[in-house]
Amino acid sequence: MGALSVAILWHQHQPLYSDPFSGEFLLPWVRLHGVKDYYGMAALLSEFPGVKANINLVPSLLLQLEAVIAGKEDRHLSLSRRPASELTLDEKIFVLNNFFSTNYQKVIAPRKRYADLFFKRGITRGRSVRDALEEFTESDIRDLQVWFNLVWFHPATVAKDEFLVSLIKKGHNFTEQEKERLLARQMDILREVVPLHRSLLESGQVELTTSPFYHPIMPLLCRMDDASLGLPGAPLPCLFESAPEDAEAQISRAVEYHKRVFGRAPEGMWPSEGSVSEAIIPLVVRNGINYLAADEEILAQSLGSTIYPHKLGGISRAEDLYVPYEVRVGDSSARIVFRDHYLSDLIGFVYQSFDPEEAAKDFISHLERIAELTDSLARKSLVTVILDGENAWEGYDNQGVQFLRELYHRLEDNPQIETVRLSDFLKECDSIRPLPRLFPGSWIGHNFGVWVGEPATNRAWDLLGQTRALLKQKQEMLSKDVAQAAWEEIYASEGSDWFWWFSERHHTRDDFLFDSLFRARLKKVYSLLGENPPLALDEPVSTVRGLPFTEPYGLLKVKLDGRSSSYFEWLAAGRYVRGRDGGVMEQVTEHIIKELFFGFDLNNLFIRLDFSDKIENLGGAQILILFVAPTELICRVDELRAPQITIERGGRKSQIKTIAVDRVVEMALPFSELGLSGAVKTKFYVEVRLNKRVERVPLLCPFYLTVPTAEATQAQWQV
């Protein structure tokens, strides 16, 4: 049947990094991956005009790229621009904590000056950033600013740019003028990303596909119960109602946006995380999408058989995998192709440890073997390879350039293989097989377990569901612009990335940031509605491993005098020391709260605050105790010079004077005034507001304790 058709699809996506209130980008990855991968991957393809490929561009990525080009900065860029001599202490700490965020072995180590700065920072030795700063000169800081941005240029770009080559050769003692020119070059390249893709599209070398606008898991939006098929017995969210209209809005807006950017509508779609179900078929068809792509494990579940063609020592059931299908739901039908899971993962996870030439030869040998085994079939066969187009390359030498060039060269010259654009193949294919059933699942484990079914992911869906329900209830009272802005935040909150990072399977140093950004999106909806957001949105969604505080272990006998009267007075209390819960927010070094103690006797919750500054210097400070469970209430101290506690609960206010201020602040909150009794677990935060600064502790999870009872005390507690 001639040459084997091979469709390679590079999926390009980044989470949503902008703060919905300030608009600031909190992480730099759209800019940096744009400079390196989104430009470099397309530029590499252009070197091999005989290789046809497919690139999937998620609209929310392109939207963020537009904003960066228009001048919206991330903090990393702002602090890169700042002259090293003008950086404050906190800004220098941020630079030293964040400007080594790349692969050490493949990216930092090969650059001597960058590696020297890395070792001076002492990350692997557990060296504190303050100790490291004592040795970092102004020139060191400036060199770090330059190197962090320089290594994110694609090697193919560097090779053709005399200025970038000169910076690498110079290596150290960079000037502010060189740094400014480097950052300007980043913007030049970012402005070329979309035109380069459009050029490849118009030349016929590349097909551009899309995904739902904010990268949601469409099957879960359409019908949450579909998750049970791949996760039998798993608990599902209680408060999120199916919203197929949201899934369709995400599709239609993606198609319109793609059409605006590239001048034509996309024919195909890589659904977010390869997630498909029968419920999404009518939606994609109504919006002009002719085909979808998914994973081979979905095909196996749909056929009720095992495929896995590479795992048993030979290609088995190749006739099932290397053929396009048609799915019909009611009057709607769409074509669907299934990626070769094994071949895709070879590029994504395995070949980075290979010699580039040997890796390319190995990949081609797999394709040649498939070509031989499918040659006798009375139809043309299609091998589909799909993977993220940016995440693998930091693990390769030289960002995978040698491997990709070897691969493209061999694909271009091999007579047994022809690379294809998916729409071209499907238009010419006359043997598309009907698929009687489409199993709902993703490209990870053929289920949705990464995004739903765990306590944190379910809680996120419930918070989203509550917010969405309120918007639906009030939308008729809103102006068109306000309603549109509120729905935009709902759609953004439906993105898969939030739930990915809430899963217990995935963790990053920026867990808290992703968590807070998700809750900020929902808070923005309440703000647009003129409503106060529930205090539950102040409590992180994620399960936190390792509490940032010790728990109380006995009853307290506290003398409210604003002093630490004796060693034993607070010995049995829970204790929080600022800095233990880490995260992005801990890059701010001057804290208001130094230490906090909390505990109880049978009648009161006791809280003690120790401040970094003297009490007499804290005039105007306001203290809030924010209870988030079992009911929401606030205890407020508005004036430290004549302190009293105002308790706000259920629209009612009461005042008590069980507070003392001297060297520390000590307060007693009667359980009866808080409405707490009977061994109930209570959760709370402490917040101090001073001179427009707001500091809340803990950062990652609330303090919690169980209200004591006399019976439990006799059995368990020391007195």
Q: What is the pLDDT of residues 59-97, one digit of tens each?
A: 999 999 999 999 999 999 999 999 999 999 989 999 999
Q: Is the residue at 461 inside a domain? A: yes
For 351-370, give one letter per residue: b (16+ CB within 10 A) or e: bbebebeebbeebbebbeeb
pLDDT score recorded for residue 376? 79
Question: Model confidence at 199, in pLDDT bands (50, 70, 90)?
Answer: very high
Q: Is the residue at 512 inside a domain? A: yes
Q: What tokens appear for 485 in the block?
A: 């802005």
Of 479, 510, 538, the domain-final residue: 538
690 beta partners: 693
Q: What contacts 515, CB < 8 A, 6 or more positions away?
A: 501, 502, 540, 541, 542
Question: Model confidence at 577, in pLDDT bands (50, 70, 90)?
Answer: confident
Q: What is the DSSP string of 490-516?
A: HHHHTBHHHHHHHSTT---TTHHHHHH
pLDDT of 343 higher than 90: yes
CB 275 within 8 A of CB 223: no
pLDDT tens digit sequence for 484-525: 999 999 999 999 999 999 988 888 878 888 999 999 999 999
From 625, 598, 593, select the one nearest 611 (Cα to Cα).
593
Instruction: Please give the angle made by the CA atoms of 394, 399 and 400, to the nearest 5 degrees.
Output: 115
Of 538, 559, 586, the domain-final residue: 538
687 and 640 part of one domain: yes
581 and 703 part of one domain: yes
From the number of C-beta atoms within 10 Å of its C-beta (0-12, 13-18, 19+), residue 317 rates as: middle
459 and 511 part of one domain: yes
Q: Which helix (H) or strand (E) element contains residue 521?
A: helix 511-529
584 and 700 part of one domain: yes
517 and 580 part of one domain: no
Cis peptide leading into 670, omega within 30 of 0?
A: no
Q: What contacts 105, CB < 8 A, 6 or more positions away?
A: none
pLDDT of 714 higher than 90: no
Mean pLDDT score, 286-300: 96
Mean pLDDT score, 188-213: 98
587 and 706 part of one domain: yes
517 and 578 part of one domain: no
From 421, 415, 405, 406, select the one nearest 362 (Cα to Cα).
406
E strands in 556-637:
574-577, 593-600, 604-611, 622-629, 633-637
Residue 700: give its domain's CATH number: 2.60.40.10
pLDDT score recorded for residue 251? 98
Question: Model confidence at 616, in pLDDT bands (50, 70, 90)?
Answer: confident
pLDDT tens digit sequence for 152-186: 999 999 999 999 999 999 999 999 999 999 999 99
pLDDT of 242 higher than 90: yes
Question: Model confidence at 589, in pLDDT bands (50, 70, 90)?
Answer: very low
Q: What contacts 376, CB < 8 A, 6 or more positions away?
A: none
* Strands 652-656 vs 574-577: parallel, antiparallel or unpaired: unpaired
Q: Is the residue at 682 inside a domain? A: yes
Cis peptide leading into 552, omega within 30 of 0?
A: no
Question: Model confidence at 587, in pLDDT bands (50, 70, 90)?
Answer: very low
Distance of CA 569 to the CA centre of its chain: 44
Running DSSP on this structure, what letter comes out for residue 350? I
529 and 609 part of one domain: no
Asked whether the CA dihedral 532, 536, 539, 543 is positive or negative, the reply is: negative
Q: What contacts 575, CB < 8 A, 6 or more positions away?
A: 549, 550, 595, 596, 597
pLDDT score recorded for residue 355? 97
Q: Is the residue at 665 inside a domain? A: yes
pLDDT of 575 higher than 50: yes
Average pLDDT over all residues of the chain: 91
Question: Model confidence at 650, in pLDDT bands (50, 70, 90)?
Answer: confident
Residue 488: give its domain's CATH number: 1.20.1430
pLDDT score recorded for residue 547? 66
Q: What residue type is assigned to position 222 of the chain?
A: C
Mean pLDDT score, 320-337: 96
pLDDT of 544 higher than 60: no
Task: Give whole-number Cα distances, 528 to 21, 117, 463, 485, 694, in Å.
Answer: 11, 46, 17, 8, 22
Q: Is the residue at 143 inside a domain? A: no
The SS3 assignment for 274 reads helix
**HSE of 526, CA atoms in CB hemisphere, 13 A:** 16
Measured CA to CA, the distance from residue 218 to residue 244 in angstroms comes to 8
Mean pLDDT score, 187-191: 98
Measured CA to CA, the distance from residue 180 to residue 200 in angstroms comes to 31
Mean pLDDT score, 397-409: 97
Task: Give whole-number Cα distances, 698 to 129, 581, 598, 616, 689, in Å.
Answer: 21, 7, 12, 24, 15
The SS3 assignment for 368 reads helix
Number of other CB atoms surrounding residue 596 within 10 Å: 22
pLDDT of 120 higher than 70: yes
Q: What contacts 153, CB < 8 A, 6 or more positions away?
A: 35, 36, 161, 164, 185, 186, 189
pLDDT score recorded for residue 485? 98
Measured CA to CA, the distance from residue 9 to residue 630 in angstroms comes to 49
Q: Is the residue at 625 inside a domain? A: yes
Of 514, 538, 562, the domain-final residue: 538
Q: Is the residue at 255 inside a domain? A: no
492 and 591 part of one domain: no
516 and 582 part of one domain: no
% of the chain exceeding 90 in pLDDT:
76
Measured CA to CA, the distance from residue 361 to residue 407 in angstroms comes to 8
Instruction: Give the number of domains in the chain.
Output: 2
The reported pTM is 0.82
Instruction: Please give the angle made by the CA atoms of 233, 236 and 238, to the nearest 5 degrees.
Output: 135
Q: Is the residue at 521 inside a domain? A: yes
Question: Model confidence at 426, in pLDDT bands (50, 70, 90)?
Answer: very high
Where is average pLDDT lowest: 356-360, 441-445, 473-477, 565-569? 565-569
Where is average pLDDT lowest: 35-44, 306-315, 670-679? 306-315
pLDDT score recorded for residue 244? 98
612 lies in which domain range? 574-716
The SS3 assignment for 316 reads coil
Question: Model confidence at 308, in pLDDT bands (50, 70, 90)?
Answer: low
Task: Give whole-number Cα distances, 46 to 204, 264, 391, 409, 567, in Å.
Answer: 11, 21, 20, 12, 72
Number of other CB atoms surrounding residue 322 within 10 Å: 27
706 and 601 part of one domain: yes
From 465, 435, 447, select the one nearest 505 (Cα to Cα).
447
578 and 701 part of one domain: yes
Measured CA to CA, the distance from residue 563 to residue 570 in angstroms comes to 11
pLDDT score recorded for residue 627? 92
Instruction: Please give the angle made by the CA atoms of 125, 128 and 130, to the nearest 5 degrees.
Output: 145
From 58, 77, 87, 47, select the one nearest 200 (Cα to Cα).
47
